[in-house]
Amino acid sequence: MNQSKATLPTSRRLARDKNFILFWLARTISLFGTSITAVVLPILVFKVTGSALDTSLIAALDGLPYIIFGIVAGAVADRHNRRRLMVVSDVVNAGLMASIPAVYYLHHLPLSYIYIVAGGSATAFVWFDAANFGAVRALAGADRVVVATTTLMATETVVAIGGLAIGGLLAATIGPVRAIIFDASSYLLSAILIAIIRAPFKESSLQSSMPGAPWKQLFSDVSAGLRYIWNSRIIRLLTAATIGVTVAGGAVGGLTVVYAVDALGLSKTDPRIGLLYACGAIGSFLSSIAIPRLQKHFNAGRITVIGLFLNCILLIALARAPSFAVAIVIYMFWEASYTVVTLNGITIRTRITPDLLQGRVNAAARTVAWGGAPIGAAIGGVLTLRLEIRSVILVMCLAIFASLVLCVALKVWSLKVTITEA
């Protein structure tokens, strides 16, 4: 009986699989560097410009490429070499990040160049991410993809906690420009580790049946992914329900530095800004641990609705937080509820979608759901021109409320499909 090398036997732990460990290590190292940049880049922009709008545009640029390239990237990832796509994406990102300190020391670093690098880095990530979904399933096996996904996210979130805190510290000590060097190095290490993985990044049954498709078939590939989402009621509804929370999350994420300075009274290079981000990562970590257990005991729709409700309440509380000590606790639980909503949809999509459609379905779903993040970041930045930061956060609660209304209208709460039925 032939067995795919990419599929782990049920008796074997993922922790003992060398290929999965290499993949896990690559993702972890890369996220450590990315976490540092997630703090220092908005600090750099806000320090240079003092503009909340300019700072929020960094977050908008982070999500915009997914809207533009996400669905196409998913189709390409399903048809072509996923490993190569991920390695090239990492190398491109390493070069882009390394160029910021290089340009800074050789010439004046204009704001426009920071935007170009931020947009380019986010674009490279889209292609990496599109290939990542199928790669995780192929390396872990369909029966372990939920455990693999949540394990990766939990581990990476722990690393992010440290990376975000260190990012704030580095911004205050060596400066945000020099701190970005850590991110460039992490992308390069990730590319090397992914390149040496021996296991295929597609299930064995697809190795010969999925040759590179002509570009003229790209439209039909994209359509197939969208049709699968539309025909799967649970994926369609959970994707739609996520839009509101990502709109609000995009605004909050893009304005976190502004919130810390204007609402909580911190300086622009206060290390506690990184601590605020880190507490959010702790919330994500707690949710990533809880999701597999929640999915065993509750319907997927119920998890999403409760998560949305809590996210809205916590965002109101964050807008009214009287001090930094109170704010970091609220921020942690707000991020936890956000992760419950998003990760619930991600794990279910990855579990029930055939490997043949992994890239297309997940990239298309993220394009629809995560497309709200750059929109929210842009709206939040514009609102700061008229409102103070606390009021902006309160206004963004309306996006989450809209998702809750949508859930009621579409009867998401009553969804009977659970992860065990996939």
Tell me the CB-side half-sphere exposure of residue 212, using CA atoms within 13 A: 6
**Quick one: tokens of 130?**
């599109």
Give the number of other CB atoms < 10 A from CB of residue 21.
15
Position 230 scores a pLDDT of 84
CA distances from 267 to 40, 47, 137, 168, 264 (A): 14, 10, 44, 12, 9
What is the spatial distance between Cα 7 and Cα 43, in angstroms, rounded to a whole number?
Answer: 43
Question: For position 65, what pLDDT does the model report?
Answer: 84
Distance CA 383, CA 386 (A): 5
Q: Yes or no: say if 171 and 38 are a contact pair by the CB < 8 Å rule.
A: no
Distance (Å, whole) CA 4 – CA 215: 29
Q: Which residues touch 322 (CB under 8 Å, ≥6 apart)? A: none
Question: How many CA atoms are closer than 13 Å to the CA of 121, on its beta-carbon side?
Answer: 29
Residue 209, classified by CB atoms within 10 Å of its CB into exposed (0-12), middle (13-18) or buried (19+), is exposed
Please tell me the predicted confidence (pLDDT) of residue 1. 35
Q: For residue range 271-318, what is the model confidence (pLDDT) as tens digits?
A: 898 889 888 888 988 888 888 888 888 888 889 999 999 999 999 999
pLDDT value for 4? 40
Residue 13: per-residue pLDDT: 66
Task: Read off the tokens for 184.
Answer: 């460039």
Q: Distance of CA 199 to CAs 7, 20, 330, 412, Å?
A: 9, 9, 42, 39
Give CA–CA dist 296/229, Å, rounded.
23
Transcribe 115-183 into DSSP letters.
HHHHHHHHHHHHHHHHHHHHHHHHHH-GGGHHHHHHHHHHHHHHHHHHHHHHHHHHHHHT-HHHHHHHH
Structure-derived torsion over alpha carbons of residues 363, 364, 369, 370, reported in degrees to the nearest 10: 40
Q: How many CB atoms lie within 10 A of CB 411?
A: 10
Query: pLDDT tens digits, residue range 56-69?
Result: 888 888 878 878 88
* Closest to 332 measured CA to CA, from 297, 281, 390, 295: 281
Low-confidence ranges of the chain (pLDDT < 50): 1-11, 205-213, 418-422
DSSP at 298: S
CATH number of 17-204+217-421: 1.20.1250.20
Query: What pLDDT, on a 0 to 100 scale, did the predictor assign at position 39?
Result: 85
Distance CA 133, CA 145 (A): 10
What span, in angstroms and rounded, lies between the C-alpha atoms of 312 and 224? 34
pTM: 0.73
Q: Which long-range contacts link 383-386 to residues 24+ away (Cβ below 8 Å)?
A: 384/52, 384/53, 384/56, 384/255, 384/258, 385/52, 385/53
Asked whether 370 and 65 are in contact (CB, 8 A), the reply is no
- Identify the residue whose tokens are 């998890």: 303
